[in-house]
Amino acid sequence: MKSRIETDGYGRKKVIDACMEPCAIERGMRIIGGKWTGSLIYHLKDGPVRFNDLNRLLGGATKKMIDQRLKALEARGMVLRTVINDRPIAVTYELTELGRSALDILEDLRLWSEKYDIR
């Protein structure tokens, strides 16, 4: 972010070099901030989880949503999909190294959310 702000002595601030593309925070949020994405990643923190279990863990999200999010995260290299069995089909999803790198942020968010009793 090269944009800056200058103060004019009245407690006001004026922008100097507005950023015309989404800034780093905005870009980050578009990856882990989408609805359900954060909890999805967080629920994978302890290892591989199956599709329907993720669906149950994220009470409220539909299968379609879970599916979309997982595909988007897989496309970004944050999640790995593995078929562990045909007949009966069984699939697990787990975090990659990049996926795991986001866990600290999510853990802090969880603590913040609980500390301030965010509803």
Partner DNA sequence: TATTTCAGGTATACTATTTATACCTGTTGG
Partner DNA sequence: CCAACAGGTATAAATAGTATACCTGAAATA
Q: What are the residues binding DNA (CB under 7 A)?
A: 34-36, 50-53, 60-65, 67-68, 81, 87-92
Q: Which does 104 bind (CB under 5 to 8 A by kind): a second copy, DNA, none?
A: a second copy
CB within 8 A of 51, min separation 6: which ones?
A: 63, 66, 67, 70, 91, 93
Which token pair is 9? Answer: 């002595």
Member of 75, 83, 89, 118 binding a second copy (CB under 8 A): 118
Helix (H, G, I), strand (E, B) or coil at 18: coil
Asked whether the bond before 88 is cis by omega within 30 degrees of 0, the reply is yes
CB of 119 to DNA, least distance (A): 15
Q: Work out whether 27 is an interface residue with a second copy (CB under 8 A).
A: yes
CB within 8 A of 118, min separation 6: which ones?
A: 112
Phi, psi of 26 (to 5 degrees): -65, -40
**Smaller CB distance to DNA: residue 80 or 105?**
80
Site for a second copy, rule CB under 8 A? 3, 5, 7, 10-15, 18-39, 42, 46-50, 53, 56-60, 84, 90, 92, 98, 101-102, 104-106, 108-110, 112-116, 118-119
